[in-house]
Amino acid sequence: MTTTLSTRRAQAAPAGTTSVRQRITERVAPYAYIAPFFLIFGVFGLVPLLFTFYVALFDWNPIGEHVFIGVDNFTRLFADARFWNAAWNTISIWLLSTVPQLVLALGLAHLLNHARLRLAVFFRMSMLVPYITSVAATTIVFAQMFDRDYGVLNWLLGFAGVEPIDFKQSVLGSHVLIAVMVTWRWFGYTTLLYLAALQAIPRAIYEAAAVDGAGGWKQFRHISIPSLRPVIVFTIVTSTIGGLQIFTEPLLVSRSAPLTCGPVRQCQTLTLFLYEQGFGQFQFGYGAAIGVALFVLVVALATVNYVLSTRIRPER
């Protein structure tokens, strides 16, 4: 009898310990799974961001002294006409590239979702070709297409009696050239995001709307767009962040003056201006101040776009 009770107690103790360990593991495991992301983000994202704010308060010589000057870099920045020119170029290129990209992607995704196409998978996968193409190769092709003397676009405009346009040397022309490259590169990726979300919408909803007399446009407006709200919000925010940080396309467009993007800085973006001041002139403090200003601009516009896009609500 005594031996049996002792055996049961010996067996019960490990079981209780195992239960406590299991509960601790279940609570700790989710944090352990997501910890690598936050560790990597902290090392390569948060720490450099905070260090940028710190460097912006100094006259920072990379191989010399670091003199604390407070907000003088920002005072100088807001009085610098080159900064405002770069800010305007950035916003202009962002608007010219983001809006057409999202509209084209949404329309094409709706077409691919409803049209009965042979080799539909091939057409859908071909949307990724611009995304995987080298940016340098893309720039070379589009620069030739928009060339003043031998470009295909000016050749076609010549049939309409339009004089050749020097896209690279004009403000609007260079913005359009860069915006077309950005749109061509990213709209396929955005199309696949919209298409995946559209295919998750039950067909019965469209069939019921058709029975009630709703045409294709009404179905698209009152069913497709509201159902795509989370994806639309995601693409708008990510396109805003990426569009305001554009660097490679304007850098490669003007090969004669890559950092200034032309003699009158007609397509110099904030990231190019930052690179010119920080790594061209070695004014790290002033470059950091430009980075802080760009960060504030990105957060502000992304927040505005998020608030506006979340107003899209499903019909009830």
The one-digit pLDDT tens for each residue of the chain (316 residues) are 445 544 444 455 455 566 777 877 778 888 888 899 999 999 998 999 999 999 999 998 888 788 999 899 999 999 999 999 999 999 999 999 998 999 999 988 888 887 676 777 787 778 888 888 888 888 888 888 888 888 888 888 888 888 888 888 888 888 999 999 999 988 889 998 999 898 888 888 888 888 888 777 888 888 888 888 889 888 988 898 999 999 988 888 877 677 777 778 888 899 999 999 988 888 999 999 999 999 999 999 888 888 877 765 544 4
Stretch (H or E) spanning 59 = strand 58-60
DSSP letters spanning 175-234: HHHHHHHHHHHHHHHHHHHHHHHHHTS-HHHHHHHHHTT--HHHHIIIIIHHHTHHHHHH
Distance CA 25, CA 38 (A): 20
Distance CA 191, CA 102 (A): 8
**At a CB cut-off of 8 Å and minimum separation 6, what does 306 contact?**
233, 236, 237
Q: Nearest Cα to 188, choosing from 302, 305, 104, 79?
A: 104
Distance CA 287, CA 276 (A): 8
Angle at 267 between CA 261 and CA 269, to 5 degrees: 95
Model pLDDT, residue 5: 45
Predicted model pTM: 0.83
Model pLDDT, residue 256: 66
Cβ neighbours of 295 (radius 10 Å): 15
Q: Where are the alpha helices (DSSP H) in the chain?
A: 2-41, 47-55, 72-78, 81-114, 120-125, 129-132, 135-145, 152-159, 171-199, 203-211, 216-219, 225-227, 229-244, 248-253, 270-275, 284-309
